[in-house]
Amino acid sequence: MNTAAPRWCVLIPCLNEEAAIRAVVESVLALGAPVIVVDDGSDDRTPEIVAALPVTLLRHATRRGKGEALRQGFREALRQGYDAVLTMDGDGQHLAADIPRIVAAAQRHPQHIVIGARLLDREQQPKGRRRANAVADWGISWACAQPVADTQSGQRWYPQAALALVDLPAENFVFEAAILIAASREQRLGVVSVPIASRYHGAFRPSHLKPVRDVTRITTYTIGRVVHYGHIVASYRRSRGAPLVLDDTAAAPAKPMALDG
């Protein structure tokens, strides 16, 4: 059996992140990880800043959405021969310091997507955002037919089987939900989460997510997937367990951990 560790890189999709992108990229490079940045048509200094760093930079001439930025990044990673991709946002809310824990979880759970789940310091998370995320977790877990903690986090490890879904017909923020669902239902991948801090205080730019438009798109897509895969009641029941959350503060094996609503 081939037990060689997968070759992986960090993928950072970004749009107008001139205030944070240098620190984000340099913090990842300090870990010795290769980096691919996909700039989604920024009209600030983001491309200029990234171009001066030792990374692969792909640029969209016009804005095409986060889904297409991730898709292009996945294709480039596959072209370069990587077996897995770790994604993180370019605004500074995801820390490179969490990457080793996510990679360690991926090594322990090779047939899983690993999510950096914002389960720590949750009091920083605005109540409206927390409620919206809870609803998303409920619905997307149903579509996945397995419980998933923090389905909206953009810090994730995608193994090779998930990267094979690069051509899924989903755009913008729907793409991340589509990958979770198809990987669960078609590739039979599990999902494990590693707790990271919720970071909403400080000099973060407003989210590019448009609550009404994008939440409606995600909800509509998710409902369609629940119906598409059928066995609706059985899928719901399978999704109601405790998500697999890796308590990596100790050396104990991963175990389900109860989450608050």
Return the CATH number at 191.
3.90.550.10
Question: What's residue 199's pLDDT?
Answer: 73
Question: What's residue 173's pLDDT?
Answer: 84
Q: Is residue 249 part of a domain?
A: yes
Question: What's residue 123's pLDDT?
Answer: 67
Question: What's residue 186's pLDDT?
Answer: 97
Phi, psi of 75 (to 5 degrees): -60, -40
Q: Is residue 209 part of a domain?
A: yes
Q: Is residue 20 part of a domain?
A: yes
Q: What residue ranges of the chain have pLDDT lower than 70?
A: 1-3, 122-126, 200-212, 214, 249-261
Q: Is residue 91 part of a domain?
A: yes
Q: Which of 38, 35, 45 is nearest to 99 (CA)?
A: 35
Q: Is residue 1 part of a domain?
A: no
Question: What's residue 172's pLDDT?
Answer: 86
Question: What's residue 130's pLDDT?
Answer: 76
Question: What's residue 260's pLDDT?
Answer: 36
- C-alpha–C-alpha distance, residues 13 and 38, integer Å: 5
- C-alpha–C-alpha distance, residues 114 and 46, integer Å: 28
Residue 202 tokens, joined: 């400080």
Range of the domain at 56: 8-256
Question: What's residue 203's pLDDT?
Answer: 56
Q: Is residue 13 part of a domain?
A: yes
Look-up of token digits 């998303």: 136
Q: Is residue 2 part of a domain?
A: no
User: What pLDDT, in 10s, does the model give residues 43-81?
Assistant: 999 999 999 999 999 999 999 999 999 999 999 999 999
Total domains, the chain: 1
Q: Is residue 99 part of a domain?
A: yes
